[in-house]
Structure 1
């Protein structure tokens, strides 16, 4: 019997659309094995407290399930299947309520990944949010943390890329099955992640991304992590769902502040009001992991800020009107009263000194 065939009935149960993680656990508590669950008659399923109302639908879906097709597809996609019965099941995840009974993986989850921080936020990312997410992911990654996120566009993508750039491990938790990957725009990024970390989901390969799949997967993002850092999030962001899961799972919640005028920062500010730790540097995160202090002596004290190099009057005039939020070239010209040529020259020299970065659409930001 091959490895997949040995998990046949675990996999089969993930093919049932109405079988939530909680109901899956109820069945596991009432039967000796997934195979016994699969073969149980309707009369027996109706007797189970907390499951009786789902028994008939369960049986109807069971009749339609094509287990052999699922096994074939899992093999074609090169997936590893890990269940609650397996020693390699992620220990941090095993401890959460309603832990996913089955995980589909690409890449490998390793012991080192227990030291993880999640970085999440809005899909509608600003240049500020992208830069901060990459910065924190890189710094935490270089310290040995695995960076966990959800492969979504925006902050998630920036977090994964920041980790990869630092040659750190990163884990993507997707909100669909691997055959229905979302978003398709991050297909190439997924391959990079798998080469230096892993991607995982609790959904069978053909499960499509739906509104309900993302909030459900968010508990895995927080469950795998020691803490969740929210970088940029409006009040209706799914990142706040991840933060709530983190609190329920007794994980730390961190939030990066931003402009009070920005809609995309309101979720972070609400989290801070509600007790999340305001974070300005990686040191603020490390302070909450007291058991790890010996590992991070290099980060116990905040590094002294780098001294700004001496600037010419032209450079100083331009630098003084720049912000950490993007400013358009034309606005810089208007605020300084300088000519287009002078502003171009000044921005170039400031960029060469590492003080300014050019963004898309002739926007510029001051670097921290």
Structure 2
């Protein structure tokens, strides 16, 4: 565990730097104990921000230091997982910008499960995705593979629900803090996952919903998973951001072939043309992973 956990957690609450930038900060100030004596001008230079912003960060940081965040999080069933925790997935450290902290609700032991498969797809997923998951999910669950997705409308929700229905375990990676929920229609699903499964985010609890945070979330979905399954996706789908992250790190992309006339199959069929692996049941995924 980090020696300066209280200080680092307080700073992350105020200004959640990714790990690469946090290391730059540490190299400059040597210890979090020294941050309170760091001038706004110096902090501004280190973080490449305005002096005004740096001054505001330092003032907020000193106020948050008076709060025992670990206790506050614990009382709200939130576990803050620093980058050197045994529960922090090592695969995330391969990212250019790994999270310094992960915030978790639920069964954090799922993070230590060696096999995780992400199932993603269009927010406008059709019944075709639901049908495909009936063939894909049960074999994966039989092998105790954890299903990862993003709790979004459409394919993500279908993946989480199908996993739970078939007795498996699932991780939902959020693009915001736990004090918020998006979409609202998944509140009941989120509560269920937060009880017997796992909700995960890199954002402190108060962080609201911003568009730019969802592509950032996608790198974590890819980062903690051994492979990616795509059910349906249009050519401009955000799903393709996740597959790009996965390809950059040498992970397999499995794709459900779709009807050539359907908009929600244009992205998936394009991935197949580019070399993704076509699948129509979970056993194919298991056999492919065994080969490697």
Q: TM-score range, shorter-chain basis?
A: 0.7 to 0.9
How far residue 158 of structure 1 moved from its aligned partner, in angstroms, is: 0.8
The alignment partner of 2:229 has SS state of: strand
Larger radius of gyration: 1
How far residue 40 of structure 1 moved from its aligned partner, in angstroms, is: 2.9
The alignment partner of 1:253 has SS state of: strand
Contact 2:105 2:195 in 1 (8 A): no
Contact 1:9 1:38 in 2 (8 A): no
Partner of 2:85: 86
How far residue 21 of structure 1 moved from its aligned partner, in angstroms, is: 5.1
Partner of 1:60: 56
How many aligned residue pairs are there?
288
Q: Distance in 1 between matches of 2:202 and 2:137?
A: 24
Whether 2:2 is the aligned partner of 1:7: answer no
Q: Distance in 2 between matches of 1:39 and 1:181?
A: 37
Contact 1:11 1:204 in 2 (8 A): no
Contact 2:221 2:242 in 1 (8 A): yes
Contact 1:257 1:278 in 2 (8 A): yes
Contact 2:2 2:82 in 1 (8 A): no
Partner of 1:74: 73
Partner of 1:216: 216
Q: Which has the higher relative contact order, 1 or 2, with Cα contacts under 8 A spaced 6 or more apart?
A: 2
The alignment partner of 1:89 has SS state of: coil
Contact 2:44 2:53 in 1 (8 A): no
Alpha-carbon spacing, 1:226–1:33, altered in 2? closer, same or farther (3 Å): farther
| Matched ranges for 1:69-218 at <5 A | 71=69, 73-110=72-109, 112-218=112-218
Deviates more, 1:178-187 or 1:3-12: 3-12
Alpha-carbon spacing, 1:240–1:4, altered in 2? closer, same or farther (3 Å): same
The alignment partner of 1:26 has SS state of: helix
Alpha-carbon spacing, 1:9–1:134, altered in 2? closer, same or farther (3 Å): farther
Alpha-carbon spacing, 1:39–1:89, altered in 2? closer, same or farther (3 Å): farther
Alpha-carbon spacing, 1:169–1:258, altered in 2? closer, same or farther (3 Å): same
* 1:312-362 residue CA offsets vs partner (Å, 9 max, x unmatched): xxxxxxxxxxxxxxxxxxxxxxxxxxxxxxxxxxxxxxxxxxxxxxxxxxx
Deviates more, 1:127-136 or 1:232-241: 127-136
Alpha-carbon spacing, 1:100–1:256, altered in 2? closer, same or farther (3 Å): same
The alignment partner of 2:88 has SS state of: coil
Q: Distance in 2 between matches of 1:135 and 1:88?
A: 31
Contact 1:18 1:58 in 2 (8 A): no
Structure 2 residues not aligned, in runs of 5+: none
Partner of 2:39: 41
Contact 1:253 1:277 in 2 (8 A): yes
Whether 2:236 is the aligned partner of 1:274: answer no
The alignment partner of 1:194 has SS state of: helix
Contact 2:81 2:101 in 1 (8 A): yes
